[in-house]
């Protein structure tokens, strides 16, 4: 090691700037990879730790208070593998939060009494107001972060059209519910406020049974057993939530982020491997004489190989450590973004395992591949090296002999140059191809979120109308008439949601008078239900059922059979849903239920006006109206914001990488071809001719790779998006691959490449024919 230390230092110093460029690429890789690794290692355990710390129940069942009995409690308690149960009364209702992140936000909400004694499902107060406030309420982190409610802010809940104003007295963290994805949120009220609310809504009173389950039990089985036990008592559970599904929805975005970061890092790692290989091969070619001199002096091949390989190992280790260090400045930002979505706060700490893994992977992969390339020097006899014979393989055949080949000589010279630098071109081809995948990915995302936002939104949301009107029970047809006569309205649909039970599973049901008229058709297989005995099931049922099967559906204690016509998706409900025809749903009741009216407008800009108008002008007919267009555009704006940031970040990183790669390639090219360029200059070739000839020798290859990759993206991009959406539970997406957009991005990428190359080739102007005179 000592003997070759000088050689290593020499190699490092000689190409300082190239090594720094290479190092920066490694640094970016390490930064991204370490973010992924730390999140992977820590979020899960942070979640579990908090889950344990708050003694969160693994299973929670909510039943209407009127149906509760001591027998029911006994039955649940005696269910096999249930370790411990605890019950609380609460109020469960659909409630709309006003000005939730700028819009109305409707969600099933459970109101708890904060003063109840609890041994299970504890919560932690993260932030509490110091002063006494009117109508205090304690809201979960998710509502606070996502809805934009701070301490002492007013928060209005609308229940059955009635407004309830509270003041945020505290923000709490709990692990039982969590985010929008579950379709169920909770809030806590102090004793008096709770009692007041309970008085007004005695019909919405519920009892919640929280259970801890024996450690050897299968959660799914216990869940089934519990719901059977409840059913056997003739009770309809309003919700049975298990902690696994909760965890799944709450960590979904984190998992997705880890996946994308890791994929991104691996692509850049591949790029750095190509690059280091290229550099090593190049170094061997241009340094073969020096190396042979060393060999002749008695250095062993191993020592020489080490002197070439070790600088890469050292640089990648050094910059990997630097990148890992830097990642800890980025991680807190990622954490706070993820907290908003996951509804639980966590801070990452230095992670030794990630550190070791990331550093070892980067350093190891780079060392391994550089060693493979450097190894061939072992086979070279010193005397061959001294004669410069190592490249004899390349000079055996004269490609495109100028004498015989037809065509412009200057053009043929470019072709010769392309052939002469095959290795470099293979590397550039691969790198350009791979980087184009990133560009195509972000380009497609940009197109579908910003240019054609409906494509993206339809995958993430349930049915969205422009305005939703909740009529009073007997005024549905009258309102429909009014809407029909309103020329600002395109059409309206009777639509409703409710909680039903399919076999043993409690899910959200959507009923609509005509699913063929909805704007966002969520059916991805088979058909929507039309007749009274038809049903379409959520993707969660796809495993055990098929189209044509008969299923038992229970609503309000009545069970009927339905025929499965198709499958539908929902990212928010994790596939736990179903669709019924309106007649199908009403067949459970003696009297038709009052649906909501989903109103679709000719011009969505009128949504705000119409929402207000119908509420104030038809007080006799309407309980409430919601501007759901606004709600949707606000969500859309958020996704657009994130997408633009993401696309810009991917672009910036890609351009940065391209810049460093071209820098390394061109630099080594200029060093290698210095004399050759001098000869050309002596012959009278101008700088601009040579800059064009040089860029011409590698640009076409990278252009072909970019165009080819963009073109192939039409085929592979849908698969990538399908994969990502499927991990989110979306089976059918409307992501469009715009050929024009891909080509636009490809052209932009090519132009940037050309510009960078020409700028980097500028030093050719400084190479004078005079270099030849100095031996």
Partner 1 sequence: MSNKKEIIIKATKLKKSFITGDTEQTIFENLDLNIYRGDFTVIMGSSGAGKSTLMYSLSGMDRPSSGEVVWNDKTITSLSDDRLAIFRRKNCGFVFQQIYLLDKMSLMDNVLTASALSGANKKESVKYAKELFELVNIPEITRKKFPSQVSGGEAQRAGIVRAVINKPEILFADEPTGALNSNNSTAVLDVFTKLHNDGQSIILVTHDKKTALRGNRVLYVKDGKIYGECDLGVYTSDSKYREAKLNNFLTEMGW
Q: Which is nearer to partner 1, 180 or 400 (CB)?
A: 400
Q: Is residue 388 at the binding interface for partner 1, with CB under 8 A as the rule?
A: yes
Distance CA 263, CA 724 (A): 12
- Cβ-based burial of 683 (10 A; exposed 0-12, middle 13-18, buried ≥19): exposed
Return the structure tokens found at 524.
């991805």
Give the one residue of 645, 686, 727, 751 binding partner 1; rule: CB under 8 A.
686
Distance CA 615, CA 471 (A): 10
Locate tokens 């592979």: which residue?
716
- Cβ-based burial of 670 (10 A; exposed 0-12, middle 13-18, buried ≥19): middle
Beta bridge pairs of residue 492: 599
Give the one residue of 17, 289, 392, 561 binding partner 1; rule: CB under 8 A.
392
Q: How far is the CB of 694 from partner 1 (least distance, A)?
A: 14
Return the structure tokens found at 282.
């190049």
Q: Which stretch binds partner 1 (CB under 8 A): 173-181, 362-370, 445-453, 683-691?
A: 683-691
Give the one residue of 126, 558, 645, 772 binding partner 1; rule: CB under 8 A.
772
Q: Which stretch binds partner 1 (CB under 8 A): 6-14, 39-47, 338-346, 394-402?
A: 394-402
Give the one residue of 152, 232, 516, 768 binding partner 1; rule: CB under 8 A.
768
Return the structure tokens found at 592.
């038709």
SS3 200: helix
Considering only the C-alpha atoms of the chain, give the largest distance between any 2 of them, rounded to a whole number of Å. Answer: 105
Angle, nearest 10°, between helix axes 628-672 and 739-761? 30
Q: Which is nearer to partner 1, 516 or 768 (CB)?
A: 768
Q: Is residue 393 at the binding interface for partner 1, with CB under 8 A as the rule?
A: no
Q: Which is nearer to partner 1, 712 or 771 (CB)?
A: 771
Q: Is residue 732 at the binding interface for partner 1, with CB under 8 A as the rule?
A: no
Q: Is residue 773 at the binding interface for partner 1, with CB under 8 A as the rule?
A: yes
The footprint of partner 1 on this chain (CB under 8 A) covers a number of residues equal to 34
Q: How far is the CB of 423 from partner 1 (least distance, A)?
A: 14
Q: Is residue 693 at the binding interface for partner 1, with CB under 8 A as the rule?
A: no
Distance CA 224, CA 440 (A): 45
**513 CB-near residues (< 8 Å, 6+ apart):** 493, 494, 495, 581, 582, 595
Helices then strands, counting H and E runs in the chain, come out as: 22, 20
Q: Which of residues 397-426 bind partner 1 (CB under 8 A)?
A: 398, 401-403, 408-410, 413, 416, 420
Distance CA 487, CA 602 (A): 8
Phi-psi region of 585 (alpha: psi -120 to 50; beta: other; left: phi over 0): alpha
Q: Is residue 765 at the binding interface for partner 1, with CB under 8 A as the rule?
A: yes
Q: How far is the CB of 398 from partner 1 (least distance, A)?
A: 4
Distance CA 441, CA 717 (A): 7
Q: Which of residues 282-311 bind partner 1 (CB under 8 A)?
A: none
| CB atoms closer than 10 angstroms to residue 590 | 5
Give the one residue of 170, 566, 595, 678 binding partner 1; rule: CB under 8 A.
678
Q: Which stretch binds partner 1 (CB under 8 A): 113-121, 272-280, 389-397, 718-726?
A: 389-397
> Is the Cα dihedral 369, 373, 374, 375 positive or negative?
positive
Give the one residue of 293, 386, 671, 682 binding partner 1; rule: CB under 8 A.
682
Q: Which stretch binds partner 1 (CB under 8 A): 356-364, 376-384, 395-403, 705-713?
A: 395-403
Q: Which stretch binds partner 1 (CB under 8 A): 37-45, 180-188, 276-284, 682-690?
A: 682-690
Q: Which of residues 648-677 bind partner 1 (CB under 8 A)?
A: 675-676
Q: Is residue 385 at the binding interface for partner 1, with CB under 8 A as the rule?
A: no
Angle, nearest 10°, between helix axes 301-342 and 16-53? 40
C-alpha Rg value of the chain to the nearest Å: 33
**160 CB-near residues (< 8 Å, 6+ apart):** 93, 201, 623
Return the structure tokens found at 773.
């005179």
Q: Which stretch binds partner 1 (CB under 8 A): 206-214, 484-492, 551-559, 680-688?
A: 680-688
Distance CA 725, CA 455 (A): 13
Give the one residue of 300, 395, 473, 559 binding partner 1; rule: CB under 8 A.
395
Q: Which is nearer to partner 1, 300 or 395 (CB)?
A: 395
Residue 579 and residue 496 in contact, taking contact as beta carbons nearer than 8 Å:
no
Q: Which of residues 241-260 bind partner 1 (CB under 8 A)?
A: none
Q: How far is the CB of 392 from partner 1 (least distance, A)?
A: 7
Q: Which of residues 168-207 bind partner 1 (CB under 8 A)?
A: none
Q: Which is nearer to partner 1, 309 or 417 (CB)?
A: 417
Q: How far is the CB of 711 from partner 1 (least distance, A)?
A: 32
Please name which of 94, 92, 249 lies closest in space to residue 180, comparing C-alpha atoms: 249
Q: Which stretch binds partner 1 (CB under 8 A): 90-98, 103-111, 442-450, 765-773?
A: 765-773
Pairing verdict, β 103-113 and 184-189: parallel
Q: Which is nearer to partner 1, 130 or 775 (CB)?
A: 775
Q: How far is the CB of 399 from partner 1 (least distance, A)?
A: 9
How far apart, in Å, do the first and last CA atoms of the chain sit?
Answer: 34
Q: Which is nearer to partner 1, 409 or 561 (CB)?
A: 409
Return the structure tokens found at 664.
């390394």
Q: Which stretch binds partner 1 (CB under 8 A): 97-105, 386-394, 452-460, 557-565?
A: 386-394
DSSP state of 417: H
Please name which of 540, 473, 455, 472 lies closest in space to residue 506, comparing C-alpha atoms: 540
Q: How far is the CB of 41 from partner 1 (least distance, A)?
A: 52
Please name which of 717, 673, 681 lies closest in space to residue 285, comparing C-alpha atoms: 673
**573 CB-near residues (< 8 Å, 6+ apart):** 181, 183, 462, 507, 508, 538
Q: How far is the CB of 686 from partner 1 (least distance, A)?
A: 4
Q: Which is nearer to partner 1, 392 or 490 (CB)?
A: 392
Q: Is residue 539 at the binding interface for partner 1, with CB under 8 A as the rule?
A: no
Q: Is residue 688 at the binding interface for partner 1, with CB under 8 A as the rule?
A: yes
Q: Is residue 394 at the binding interface for partner 1, with CB under 8 A as the rule?
A: yes
Q: Is residue 763 at the binding interface for partner 1, with CB under 8 A as the rule?
A: no
Locate tokens 């070791």: which residue?
356
Q: How far is the CB of 279 from partner 1 (least distance, A)?
A: 20
Q: How far is the CB of 396 from partner 1 (least distance, A)?
A: 8
Chain residues that interact with partner 1, rule: CB under 8 A:
388, 392, 394-395, 398, 401-403, 408-410, 413, 416, 420, 675-676, 678-688, 765, 768-770, 772-773, 775
């Amino acid at each position: 090691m000592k003997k070759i230390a000088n050689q290593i230092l020499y190699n490092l110093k000689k190409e300082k700037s190239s090594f720094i460029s290479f190092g920066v690429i490694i640094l970016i890789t390490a930064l991204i990879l370490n973010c992924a690794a730390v999140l992977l290692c820590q979020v899960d355990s942070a979640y579990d730790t908090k889950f344990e710390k708050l003694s969160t129940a693994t299973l929670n069942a909510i039943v209407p208070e009127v149906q509760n009995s001591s027998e029911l409690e006994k039955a649940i308690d005696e269910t096999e593998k249930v370790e411990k149960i605890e019950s609380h009364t609460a109020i469960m209702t659909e409630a709309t939060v006003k000005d939730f992140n700028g819009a109305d936000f409707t969600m099933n909400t459970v109101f708890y009494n904060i003063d109840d004694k609890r041994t299970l499902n504890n919560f932690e107060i993260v932030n509490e107001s110091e002063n006494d406030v009117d109508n205090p309420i304690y809201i979960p982190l998710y509502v606070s972060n996502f809805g934009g409610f701070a301490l002492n802010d007013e928060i209005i809940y609308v229940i059955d059209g009635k407004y309830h104003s509270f003041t945020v007295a505290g923000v709490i963290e709990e692990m039982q519910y969590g985010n929008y994805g579950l379709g169920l949120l909770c809030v806590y009220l102090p004793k008096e406020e709770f009692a007041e609310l309970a008085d007004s809504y005695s019909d919405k009173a519920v009892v919640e049974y929280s259970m801890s389950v024996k450690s050897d039990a299968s959660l799914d089985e216990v869940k089934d057993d519990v719901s059977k036990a409840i059913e056997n008592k003739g009770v309809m559970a309003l919700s049975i939530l298990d902690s696994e599904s909760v965890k799944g929805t709450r960590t979904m975005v984190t998992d997705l982020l880890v996946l994308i970061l890791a994929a991104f890092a691996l692509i850049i790692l591949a790029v750095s491997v190509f690059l280091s290989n290229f550099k090593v091969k190049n170094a061997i070619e241009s340094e073969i004489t020096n190396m042979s001199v060393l060999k002749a002096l008695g250095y062993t091949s191993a020592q020489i190989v080490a002197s070439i390989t070790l600088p890469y190992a050292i640089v990648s280790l050094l910059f990997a450590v630097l990148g890992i260090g830097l990642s800890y400045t980025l991680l807190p930002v990622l954490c706070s973004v993820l907290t908003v979505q996951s509804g639980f706060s966590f801070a990452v700490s230095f992670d030794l395992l990630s550190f070791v893994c990331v550093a070892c992977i980067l350093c190891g992969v780079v060392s391994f591949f550089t060693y493979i390339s450097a190894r061939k020097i072992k086979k070279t006899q010193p005397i061959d090296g001294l004669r410069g014979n190592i490249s004899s393989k390349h000079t055996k055949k004269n490609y495109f002999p100028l004498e015989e080949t037809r065509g412009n000589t200057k053009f043929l010279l470019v072709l010769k140059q392309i052939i002469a630098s095959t290795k470099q071109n293979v590397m550039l081809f691969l790198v350009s191809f791979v980087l184009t995948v990133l560009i195509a990915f972000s380009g497609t995302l940009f197109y579908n979120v910003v240019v054609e936002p409906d494509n993206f939104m339809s995958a993430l949301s349930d049915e969205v109308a422009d305005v939703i009107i909740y009529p009073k029970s007997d005024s549905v047809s009258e309102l429909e008439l009014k809407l029909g006569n309103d020329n600002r309205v395109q059409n309206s649909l009777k639509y409703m949601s409710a909680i039903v039970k399919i076999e043993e599973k409690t899910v959200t049901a959507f009923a609509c008078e005509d699913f063929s008229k909805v704007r966002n058709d969520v059916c991805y297989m088979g058909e929507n239900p039309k007749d009274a005995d038809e049903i379409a099931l959520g993707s969660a049922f796809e495993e055990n059922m098929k189209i044509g099967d008969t299923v038992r559906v229970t609503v309000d204690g009545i069970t009927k059979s339905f025929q499965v016509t198709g499958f539908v998706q929902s990212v928010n409900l994790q596939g736990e849903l179903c669709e019924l025809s309106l007649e199908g749903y009403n067949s459970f009741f003696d009297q038709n239920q009052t649906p909501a009216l989903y109103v679709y407008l000719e011009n969505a800009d009128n949504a705000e006006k119409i929402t207000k108008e119908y509420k104030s002008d038809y007080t006799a007919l309407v309980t409430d109206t919601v501007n759901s267009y606004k709600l949707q555009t606000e969500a859309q704006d958020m996704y657009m914001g994130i997408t633009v940031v993401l696309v810009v970040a991917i672009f910036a990183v890609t351009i940065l990488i391209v810049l460093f790669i071209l820098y390394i390639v061109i630099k080594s090219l200029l060093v290698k071809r210095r004399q050759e360029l001098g000869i050309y200059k002596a012959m009278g070739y101008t700088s601009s001719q040579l800059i064009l000839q040089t860029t011409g020798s590698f640009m076409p290859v990278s252009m072909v790779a970019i165009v080819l990759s963009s073109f192939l993206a039409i085929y592979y991009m849908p698969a990538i998006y399908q994969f990502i959406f499927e991990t989110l539970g979306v089976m059918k997406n409307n992501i469009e691959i715009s050929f024009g957009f891909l080509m636009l991005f490809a052209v932009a990428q090519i132009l940037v490449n050309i510009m960078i190359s020409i700028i980097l080739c500028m030093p050719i102007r400084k190479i004078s024919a005079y270099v030849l005179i100095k031996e």
